[in-house]
């Protein structure tokens, strides 16, 4: 197996789907605008600094899913994809995924953004597999909790390892494309780490370690 792994937010997308979902549910009145917007921004800035408490963030991010029936949430999600995600899909990102697929590589998105948001986005890119934090769904409703481990920082490494063990196969070659210093733990595990439109911290580290740096935006 040859494996091509992609981060999602600010890598294949020209924006952060998790943050944009927060903006979307504020815009459409699904949560209290002032309070939610401020907290959403606080967590996003903590993520950018590398200081995110992922468990606290998930409690915040998944709570709105408990307020509405699943059918209504899925209808809002479809509108969100059309309004806020399709416009930021990077064409060069789509082509990069297709190029790996044409070469016979297994394609995968690993993202810290929860599966409720990212499952339809992964479908847009046509990847073979998605590893993402999974909201708990019980008795027809979202509970506000999550199952297994958050796919964030070292959690991405563990989620990939769990997946590989289930496949009973190890990649001979592997790529991981990411914009964020939060993904260094997984970038260090693959044979071909690639920094994509990286933040300043990752750009400096990529230069130091000789990792290639590319842009999907220009």
pTM across the whole model? 0.93
Read off the pLDDT of residues 155-199 as tens digits, 9 standing for 90 and up. 999 999 999 999 988 999 999 999 999 999 999 999 999 999 999
Position 37 pLDDT exceeds 90: no
Task: Name residues whose C-beta falls within 8 Å of residue 145's C-beta, 6 or more positions apart in sequence.
Answer: 62, 135, 136
Residue 33: predicted pLDDT: 84
CATH superfamily of 2-214: HAD superfamily/HAD-like (3.40.50.1000)
pLDDT at site 218: 79
pLDDT tens digits along 107-157: 999 999 999 999 999 999 999 999 999 999 999 999 999 998 899 999 999
Query: Is residue 36's pLDDT more than 90?
Result: no
Query: HEC string of 10-54?
Result: CCCECCCHHHHHHHHHHHCCCCCHHHHHHHHHHHHHHHHHCCCCH
- Terminal alpha carbon distance of the chain: 31
Residues 57 and 42: their CA atoms lie apart, in Å, by 10
Helical (H) or strand (E) element with 137: strand 134-138
Q: Which is it for strands 134-138 and 141-147: parallel, antiparallel or unpaired?
A: antiparallel
pLDDT tens for residues 60-104? 999 999 999 999 999 999 999 999 999 999 999 999 999 999 999
The C-alpha atoms of residue 78 and residue 120 are separated, in whole angstroms, by 8
Q: Could you state, in order of their start, the residue ranges of all structural domains in the chain?
A: 2-214
- Residues annotated catalytic, as ranges: 7, 9
Separation CA 30–CA 47 (nearest Å): 24
pLDDT at residue 3 in the model: 98
Mean pLDDT for 36-58 is 86
What confidence tier does 41 reach under pLDDT thresholds 50, 70, 90? confident
Alpha carbon of residue 81 to chain centroid? 14
Inform me whether the pLDDT recorded for 34 exceeds 90. Answer: no
């Amino acid at each position: 197996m040859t494996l091509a792994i992609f981060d999602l937010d600010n890598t294949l997308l020209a924006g952060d789907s998790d943050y944009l979902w927060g903006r979307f549910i504020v815009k459409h009145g699904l949560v209290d605008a002032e309070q939610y917007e401020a907290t959403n921004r606080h967590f996003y800035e903590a993520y950018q600094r590398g200081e995110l408490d992922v468990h606290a963030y998930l409690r915040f991010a998944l709570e709105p899913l408990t307020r509405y029936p699943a059918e209504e949430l899925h209808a809002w999600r479809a509108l969100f994809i059309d309004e806020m995600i399709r416009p930021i899909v990077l064409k060069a990102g789509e082509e990069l995924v297709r190029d790996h697929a044409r070469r016979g590589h297994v394609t995968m998105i690993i993202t810290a953004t929860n599966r409720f948001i990212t499952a339809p986005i992964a479908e847009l890119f046509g990847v073979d597999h998605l590893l993402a934090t999974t909201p708990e769904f019980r008795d027809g409703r979202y509970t506000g909790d999550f199952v297994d481990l958050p796919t964030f920082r070292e959690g991405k490494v563990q989620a990939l390892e769990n997946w590989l063990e289930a496949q009973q196969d190890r990649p001979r070659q592997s790529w991981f494309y990411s914009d964020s210093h939060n993904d260094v733990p997984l970038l260090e595990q693959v044979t071909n780490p690639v920094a994509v439109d990286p933040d300043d911290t990752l750009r400096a580290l990529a230069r130091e370690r000789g990792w290639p740096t590319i842009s999907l935006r220009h």
